[in-house]
Structure 1
């Protein structure tokens, strides 16, 4: 009998790093369940089916409990071998100038929805004592994010959660990997209204390369991966730099009007 194909869930898979993570899974022989809150998820599914294997797509709002439940129901009880929790949104500009509903969406998507999904699928993995979890954090989690305050705080939460969860599962056959990229060439900065900032207009890392590094680290069972030499240096420096100075430096990158002409 042929070996059954493994099954992976990838969230935020309509574009950017999420789509590239899904592509890595498909190329490695995983069947896929991909999810996002935009119609482009169907286009992504059509593209990924060309790589072979089964690809199902769920259009759902992962910032809500109901949306995560809808995604989990779409597994139809199939055991999940890999969960790539990548869904996330950004938000630029000064905290007090931001619309609170937009702030709430960052928190609900990046933290609440992700935590709930990890809790649901993680418990299913624990029952089988097998699984791989990849959480897309960010090197932004190392820095107080002036003019990106809630987003950076949400990534600090995810970075921390991933390390804690990995330790708790140390004596199991479940691995937890945290992918911590820097600024990456995706729709992120346009959607976060940051195209008038230095970081929004600067040269960024390639999404496919970031995803490949994260996927390979997950498959090896590594605990974390910071992609790119520049980002590795930045994260190392951040660990020994006072928080106040980091916040001041971040302002130069993310404050509106700092885009280089």
Structure 2
């Protein structure tokens, strides 16, 4: 079904597959033209599928852990000449294994993607949204941010930062016309676990949520102006328990899910 040209743009990062692609589909279904980005060549095939919805799609393969990647994305947004009505800051990477066994370049890349690059993009595009007096921001955090992530220590630490930051930014923007929503999924059936080298772990092998369902929960919460949403009832129970469980206990529980080899019978 074709749409008339949207007066506003939706920017979605990490949109080549998984939750990001599903978020882009939902934005397109609501008639928003798209600027989508990812660090994988699959962003081009995603763009081809999204163009079938009748909206204009600008796709970029770039690394949002770098200043240059964020600059390129923002330059493309400016070239469209359209105001940003929706920003889905979804790009993120995971990393399994014990912290001291990781290559530090890999650990730093997770921090630079999940935290530094996300903040840089929010600062650049958020200023424009505040100046125009409207817009909706959806930041993909995680229930991982509620627990010390033994054998995923860096990833969980970045998500704890993002979960907290999103609430602070929401408060700062409360009178601006711009809303901020944090989507906090649990384990979701995406390429995350392969890319993070977690396939031999219990969490890598366990049943996961569908990305379509997670994206729909986040999109609906964003459109309603909610502060956050934990996707899936099991994850909501886990998040609630995490708030009253000692950190040492949570770390040991996480170890049983994420320690290399824990997925073997």
Q: Provide the C-alpha distance between the structure 2 equivalents of 1:122 and 1:228, rounded to a whole number of angstroms.
A: 28
Q: Provide the C-alpha distance between the structure 1 equivalents of 2:264 and 2:19, rounded to a whole number of angstroms.
A: 25
Does the 8 A contact of 1:26 with 1:51 survive in 2? Answer: yes
CA apart distance, 1:3: 7.6
Q: Which residue of 1 aligns with 2:171?
A: 167
Q: 2:251 aligns with which of 225, 247, 250?
A: 247
Counterpart check, 1:117 vs 2:151: no
Counterpart check, 1:24 vs 2:26: yes
Give unmatched runs, 5+ long, in structure 2.
none
Q: Provide the C-alpha distance between the structure 2 equivalents of 1:52 and 1:145, rounded to a whole number of angstroms.
A: 42
**Which of structure 1's runs of 4+ aligned residues deviate more than 4 A?**
none
Give unmatched runs, 5+ long, in structure 1.
none
CA apart distance, 1:56: 0.8
Instruction: Output the aligned Cα RMSD.
Output: 1.0
Describe the SS at the equivalent of 1:216.
helix
* 1:139-172: CA deviation from partner (whole Å, max 9, x where unpaired): 0000000000000000000000000000111112
Q: Provide the C-alpha distance between the structure 2 equivalents of 1:61 and 1:171, rounded to a whole number of angstroms.
A: 33
Counterpart check, 1:10 vs 2:6: no
1:162-241 → structure 2 map (5 Å cutoff):
162-241=166-245
| Number of equivalences | 260
TM norm structure 1: 0.98
1:66-145 → structure 2 map (5 Å cutoff):
66-75=68-77, 76=79, 77-145=81-149
Describe the SS at the equivalent of 2:84.
coil
Describe the SS at the equivalent of 1:205.
coil
Q: 1:257 aligns with which of 242, 257, 261?
A: 261
Q: Provide the C-alpha distance between the structure 2 equivalents of 1:79 and 1:55, rounded to a whole number of angstroms.
A: 15
Does the 8 A contact of 1:196 with 1:256 survive in 2? Answer: yes
CA apart distance, 1:51: 1.0
TM norm structure 2: 0.96
